[in-house]
Amino acid sequence: MFGHPKGLFVLFFAEMWERFSFYGMKTLLVLYMVKALDYGDEFAGGVFGAYGGFAYATPLIGGIIADRFLGYRKAIVTGGILMAIGHFCMAVRHEAFFYMALALIASGNGFFKPNISTMVGKLYAEGDPRRDGGFTIFYMGINLGAFLTTIICGLIGELIGWHYGFALAGVGMIIGLMVFVKGGHHIGDQGFPPRPEALGERMWGGVRKVHWLYVAIALNIPGVAILMFKWEWVQDGTPVIGVLALAYIVFEMFRCTREERGRIFVLLALMFFSVVFWACFEQAGSSFTLFTDRFVDRTILGWEVPASQFLVLNPLFIFMLGIPFSMMWTRLARRNLDPSAPVKFALGLLQLAAGFVMAALAAKQAEASGLANPGWIVLIYLLHTTGELCLSPVGLSTITKFAPARIGGLLMGMWFLSNAFAGVLSGWIAGETEGGEYVKVFTNIVYFGAGSGVVLLAFSPLLKKLSYGAK
């Protein structure tokens, strides 16, 4: 695939179908809560944020378990099975199944997401200039799945029935698992358990360790489901979890070399700014979707386009721009002109802020005339997509380059944990728009995003120096 290892092809399509399932549910989630379950905007935003928080917090645990016990391959299969069950639970018309489904999908994501990303990094030798390009191609797989599912699951969910859309997402997850299992031989000897014999060791009651792990996962699901419903507890507890996670990473830093400590510090700084980016970006699935549904002129050629279909713009733009961005990074690297990861992150934040300028203008137009022009939404997603391409695949690649080998899964999980904090924060931001405060909230985000980008640009030389030449 464009001069990359064959294993990238397998991981590309496995991730594509997994994201088809994940985003198929996510596309419909807020609209389903508001229109079918009759939740208010604040409550729906809170549940959406809690779900996003758990979906990106569980990879920290999943990464540790894969590193030390299960191995990446078994972790990916375990996660895929949990997510498939969750999607099919979403197809059941009962509120209890709804929250159990969210818990299953979030928990399964914790085993699938960080470990398949880590395996992409292991396809490349240290210093391979194709790595950033490889992650951008992998990122295209994510967004190809999101593109297909927004059209298919979104239309089926809104026009035929919510639960049919959710069930179709489950089918996508099954296909993703099949691709991964059948194509595993192309990945080489990567991803197996560090101590295969440990899986069969027996513990209490003569039960194998691996079976106790599955029991622990099953017992954890109801508790996570309750926390989805009690989303206020998640918002209150997030800062505590953040402090504990940071303390553990600092503890690990003292066990590293001086060079490794510098690189881990750079990763922590990038994770902080990643929280800023994703907390604002994730308004696409909550406040943006509700704004589009209520205040955007969606009539095209006499057909009122469902609000969910505007979400297709982000994966469509990524699919269009992913290869050009991949080629751009690779060619710049060959000329020794490739910007450092902090500079790329800063560019992403500045483009995010520019997108929210468009959002604030759209909200002002809606206040003045009742409906906003859909062209504003197109510009928002275009700017946010180019910002995303500067930040997200680069972040994944930087983790695999900077993280010490013995804690690679842990730091990849920590990267997704930063996304979890962003998910919870995004729910809080979305709740602030209840009552129609879109202009105020979108304008505040402009200042916040632009200010963060400028600060990161100012400190990027120091962060590059701490990375000891690693780009």
The domains of the chain, with CATH numbers, are 6-466 (1.20.1250.20)
Say what percent of the chain tops pLDDT 90.
9
Burial class (CB in 10 A: 0-12, 13-18, 19+), 168: buried
pLDDT of residue 349: 93
Q: Which residue has the higher pLDDT, 355 or 170?
A: 355
pLDDT of residue 470: 47
pLDDT of residue 189: 65
Q: How far apart are CA 334 and CA 331, in angstroms?
A: 5
List the alpha helices (DSSP H) in 304-436.
313-334, 341-369, 374-402, 408-432
Tokens in use for 452?
């963060």
pLDDT of residue 207: 62
| Residues 248-281 pLDDT 10s | 888 877 877 777 788 888 888 888 898 999 989 9
Band of residue 355 on the pLDDT scale cut at 50, 70, 90: very high
Band of residue 155 on the pLDDT scale cut at 50, 70, 90: confident
Among residues 173, 167, 187, 197, which one has the least CA distance to residue 111? 173
Q: Is the pLDDT of residue 125 over 80?
A: no
Q: Which residue has the higher pLDDT, 199 or 300?
A: 300
**C-alpha 77: how far from chain center:** 19
Task: Give the pLDDT mean for 190-196.
Answer: 64
Q: Is the pLDDT of residue 335 over 90?
A: no
CA distances from 336 to 45, 149, 169, 381 (A): 44, 38, 43, 31
pLDDT of residue 409: 66
Q: Is the pLDDT of residue 140 over 80?
A: no
SS3 362: helix
Q: How far apart are CA 39 and CA 33, in angstroms?
A: 6
What's the full length of the chain, in residues?
A: 471
pLDDT of residue 61: 79
Q: Is the pLDDT of residue 41 over 50?
A: yes
CA distances from 325 to 214, 338, 387 (A): 41, 12, 11
Say what percent of the chain tops pLDDT 70.
90
Q: What angle do CA 102, 104, 105 make, to 5 degrees?
A: 65
Task: Give the pLDDT mean for 155-182.
Answer: 80
Kindly compute the dihedral angle of the four CA atoms of residues 222, 226, 227, 228, in this order, to the nearest 10 degrees: 100
Taking every pair of Cα atoms in the chain, the longest distance, rounded to a whole number of angstroms, is 70
Task: Give the pLDDT mean for 194-199.
Answer: 61
Among residues 268, 212, 202, 264, which one has the least CA distance to residue 401? 264
- The mean-pLDDT minimum among 98-107, 115-124, 152-161, 309-318 falls in 115-124
Q: Which residue has the higher pLDDT, 2 or 304?
A: 304
| Residues 395-406 pLDDT 10s | 777 877 777 776
Tokens in use for 62?
């999943």
Q: How far apart are CA 253 and CA 238, in angstroms?
A: 23
- Mean pLDDT of the chain, nearest integer: 81
Task: Give the pLDDT mean for 182-205.
Answer: 65
pLDDT of residue 184: 63
List the alpha helices (DSSP H) in 36-130.
41-65, 72-90, 95-121
Task: Give the pLDDT mean for 5-13.
Answer: 76
Task: Give the pLDDT mean for 182-204.
Answer: 65
Q: Which residue has the higher pLDDT, 191 or 399?
A: 399
Q: How many CB atoms lie within 10 A of CB 197?
A: 7
Kindly compute the dihedral angle of the four CA atoms of residues 300, 165, 218, 176, in this order, to the nearest 10 degrees: -90
Q: Is the pLDDT of residue 417 over 80?
A: no
pLDDT of residue 358: 93
Q: How far apart are CA 62 and CA 71, in angstroms?
A: 10
List the alpha helices (DSSP H) in 196-257.
196-200, 209-229, 231-253
pLDDT of residue 469: 47
| Residues 206-228 pLDDT 10s | 667 777 778 878 888 898 899 88
Among residues 17, 7, 9, which one has the least CA distance to residue 185? 7
Q: How far apart are CA 289 and CA 157, in angstroms?
A: 15
Q: Output the pTM of the full model.
A: 0.77
pLDDT of residue 196: 61
Tokens in use for 441?
């909230």
Band of residue 166 on the pLDDT scale cut at 50, 70, 90: confident
| Residues 61-109 pLDDT 10s | 787 788 777 777 888 888 888 988 888 888 787 888 889 999 998 888 8
Q: Is the pLDDT of residue 290 over 50?
A: yes
H or E element in which residue 466 lies: helix 438-466
Band of residue 385 on the pLDDT scale cut at 50, 70, 90: very high
